[in-house]
Structure 1
Amino acid sequence: MKLRVFDLRESMANGGGPACLRLRVVLTPTEMQAVNPAVMMNDALFEALNNWVDRYYRDRLTHADLVDPQLLREGREALDDLTTILRLGSVYPFQR
């Protein structure tokens, strides 16, 4: 296994992290009806996602964290919780 380290300061100072995941998608009314309503932003979802970020999002990672199996467990728990919040069902192989 090889560890590669990248300087992310510029990215992080320019809206990286969760903020870089923003995406605007224009949908027709028919396409909009096909979208899972649980993923549409509203006050309750906004609060649930903020709570999710507060619970799972680390503000730093060390080299030691990257080889710690606990990081994988935490990541899987976070993804499992997120798919539950968004009512997506089992999306990832570890959820099956």
Structure 2
Amino acid sequence: MKYTLTALRSRTDPLAASLRLQVFTSDNGTWRETDRALVGEADSWFWFPLTGRHAVCAFSTSSTQPAPVTVSMLITPSVGCSPTENFRIDNGRIVPA
């Protein structure tokens, strides 16, 4: 499995963003997206800290089944990191933990 975190800039607020977790599995040598989910609420992140150098505070995965995934992102430099969000990946599907 491969995982990606992608910042998506808000269409209504240029300072806001959403964060998307995507899961990909290999099928005959080709990576295919099997699921996606928002980390937090839509447009609940600040765009500039989320896309900066130190945006990822923690990102952890495991090869166990179901696979745990934890994510913590920078809210702002003065506020610090977000609480950890936990997910489980069960057969390529994201299940909130």
Tell me, yes or no, whether TM beats 0.5: no
Which structure: larger Rg?
A: 1
Higher relative contact order (CA 8 A, sep 6+): 1
Q: How high is the TM-score relative to the length of structure 1?
A: 0.29
Question: More strand per residue: 1 or 2?
Answer: 2
Q: How high is the TM-score relative to the length of structure 2?
A: 0.29
Question: More helix per residue: 1 or 2?
Answer: 1
